[in-house]
Chains A and B, each alone.
Chain A
């Protein structure tokens, strides 16, 4: 059968990209407020919204880093068991 392919790095990159986009949005919000596209947000509102976007951006990037470690360091000593019965998720067991 075809060679096993693991594309998890791609998903990890995606999560990191979401993090970057979230932080980008937090920067853009200030710009939009100036152009009155959002409406007139007060300073507190803009500050709070920006903070939460940055917070989640950082969370996503951290999640990407943790998943990266799980993928390439933690799982090194494990072998993948292909479960043909259920055919759903791959499980791992110690070699």
Chain B
């Protein structure tokens, strides 16, 4: 699933703060959290690991087929919103 712009204004149901942590922690923890959540909920991830935003998250979410959107909130800080669809 490609990036979805509507997600930007959706209020997240769950948040995950992995600031300052490098791979594989952000992906692993997001994956675990998504597994526990029920379908239709939105997860918000805060991260400042640019490699995760550029590579790991997009390809992981593509594989899981969840829509997501990335927003840069400050230099080097990102918020990723993911909707669990299945």
Contacts and interface: CB of A to CB of B under 8 A. Distances in A.
Is there a contact between chains A and B in the complex with CB atoms less than 8 Å apart?
yes
Interface of A: 1-6, 80, 82-84, 87-88, 90
A87 B74 contact: no
A6 B53 CA distance: 20
A4 B74 contact: yes
Q: How large is the interface on B (under 10, 10 to 19, 20 to 34, 35 or more residues)?
A: 10 to 19
Query: For the complex, would chain A's binding face be called helix, strand, loop or mixed by DSSP majority?
Result: loop
B22 interface: no
Interface string B43-78: 000000010011000000000000000111111011
Query: For the complex, would chain B's binding face be called helix, strand, loop or mixed by DSSP majority?
Result: strand
Contacts of A5: 74-75
A3 B77 CA distance: 11
B50 to A, nearest CB: 7
Contact of B75 (A1, A84, A90): A90
Given A87-B53, A88-B50, A88-B54, A4 B72 contact: no
Given A87-B53, A88-B50, A88-B54, A80 B75 contact: yes
A1 B79 CA distance: 11
A2 B74 contact: yes
A90 B74 CA distance: 9
Given A87-B53, A87-B70, A88-B50, A4 B78 contact: no
A64 to B, nearest CB: 19
Given A87-B53, A88-B50, A88-B54, A4 B75 contact: yes
Contact of B72 (A2, A3, A6, A87): A87
